[in-house]
Amino acid sequence: MGKRVTIVEVARETGLDNSTVSLALRGDRRIAEQTRLRVADVARRMNYVPNQLASALSSGRSRVIGVMLPGMENQFFAPHLEEFQAAAEQSKNAIAIKFCDWDPQRELAGLLQFCENRVDGVIWCPAGGSNEQLKATVEKLHAARMPFVILGGPSKMGHLVGMSEFSALKLGADYLVGLGHRRIGIATATRVPGLRGELHRNRLQRLRDALLAVGARVDAADIFETGDNEYGGVEFAIPLRERPAAERPTAIYAADDMLARAVVMGLRVAEIGVPSGMSVLGFDDAPRDASGPVPITSVSLEARGNGRAAIALLLDVIAGKIPPSPFRTIRLSPKIVERASCTGIPK
């Protein structure tokens, strides 16, 4: 099995110097157009494949950006990923993805691997873990002089692209009240095992606070908590049907879009129309929620914008356009994505 062809072989074949070939292949305009074309041609004919490793070692830029995500079992990160990919591609960078499965241990290990791989920088969506663990990890990154941007984590530890959950929750509450709703129910998946449950348990209080803050009425009987990841909506739709319409909330604010779908489904089963009989507002706009029986109106945390902002920021850090400190913080505003599951209430 013959060896792979390198720049040296191409140089020999064309009768030029290594460096000329190197420059030519990268389209440096010091090299005459004619030469450039000839080199490109010979390289193609010889099946030359550039060795990124050598290039990276020599130039000190690997043109790879590491992305550390907690997991992929929910599609929350899908739009982020797509955006990373697109933004990186534009700047001729590649993306290397690692999942740590919500394990801070593996998260740290993965980030260190990124350092060893000499990626140019890292986008890091922290999996949680204790504050000390976070700090220790940040420390390691700094020690390795690895540029990084935290996406959606705590502030004060590095450059940050943040998503302020509370202001987003409040935006949704505002929206419902603005439509005329007063009595508003909350749907959460607090009893689901694992991370989603934990997230919802934390979110429930804030969701309630957000609603109260804008003057809505939230009865204890209108707070629903399910333990079923997929069909939880049915659990509370049935009892809801039993109540006379006057004793029901006029809108339900779901703690995430998956649940909003389940709620819509449950209401369909209970023969309560959406949005005619009940408005349903989602949270964390997942793009696919544009489809389905009733397209769901939702509060968007602006995943795509955040993804793009994170890459842009990171590239600036890598390029040295941004000093290591003070840390930059970027916060995009959440938005209401109006679809068909919410409607106004006559006064």
Partner DNA sequence: GCTAAAAATTCAAACGTTTGAATTTTGGGC
Partner DNA sequence: GCCCAAAATTCAAACGTTTGAATTTTTAGC
Dihedrals phi, psi of 242, to nearest 5 degrees: -65, -35
Give the amino acid at 189.
A
Q: Which is nearer to a copy of itself, 116 or 132 (CB)?
A: 116
DSSP for 112-150, please give it.
Answer: HHHHHHT-SEEEE------HHHHHHHHHHHHHTT--EEE
30 binds, among a copy of itself, DNA, none (CB under 5 to 8 A by kind): DNA
CA distances to 238, 321, 341 from 293, rounded to whole Å, are 19, 48, 10
345 binds, among DNA, a copy of itself, none (CB under 5 to 8 A by kind): none
Location of structure tokens 């739709």: 237
Q: Which parts of this chain interact with DNA (CB under 7 A)?
A: 3-4, 6-8, 15-20, 22-23, 25-26, 29-35, 48, 50-51, 54-55, 57-60
293 binds, among a copy of itself, DNA, none (CB under 5 to 8 A by kind): a copy of itself
The rounded distance, in Å, linking the Cα atoms of 4 and 297 is 55
Compute the least distance from the CB of residue 32 to DNA, in Å: 4
306 binds, among DNA, a copy of itself, none (CB under 5 to 8 A by kind): none
The rounded distance, in Å, linking the Cα atoms of 347 and 338 is 21
186 binds, among a copy of itself, DNA, none (CB under 5 to 8 A by kind): none
The rounded distance, in Å, linking the Cα atoms of 309 and 287 is 19
Q: Which is nearer to a copy of itself, 58 or 167 (CB)?
A: 58
Compute the least distance from the CB of residue 49 to a copy of itself, in Å: 5
> Are 51 and 108 contacting, i.e. CB atoms less than 8 angstroms apart?
no
All residues at 6 or more sequence positions from 148 whose CB lies less than 8 Å from its CB, including other chains = 121, 122, 123, 124, 141, 158, 159, 314, 317
CA distances to 86, 256, 268 from 259, rounded to whole Å, are 29, 5, 14
96 binds, among a copy of itself, DNA, none (CB under 5 to 8 A by kind): a copy of itself
62 binds, among DNA, a copy of itself, none (CB under 5 to 8 A by kind): a copy of itself
Compute the least distance from the CB of residue 102 to a copy of itself, in Å: 13
Q: Which is nearer to DNA, 93 or 306 (CB)?
A: 93
Compute the least distance from the CB of residue 265 to DNA, in Å: 54
SS3 240: helix
Compute the least distance from the CB of residue 117 to a copy of itself, in Å: 5
DSSP for 199-232, please give it.
Answer: HHHHHHHHHHHHHHHTT-B--GGGEEE---TTTH
Q: Which parts of this chain interact with a copy of itself (CB under 8 A)?
A: 1, 4, 47, 49-54, 56-57, 62, 64, 72-73, 75, 78, 81-82, 85, 94, 96-97, 99, 101, 112-113, 115-118, 143-145, 193, 228-231, 234, 261, 265, 268-269, 288, 291-293, 324
Q: Which is nearer to DNA, 115 or 255 (CB)?
A: 115
Compute the least distance from the CB of residue 95 to DNA, in Å: 20
Compute the least distance from the CB of residue 38 to DNA, in Å: 9
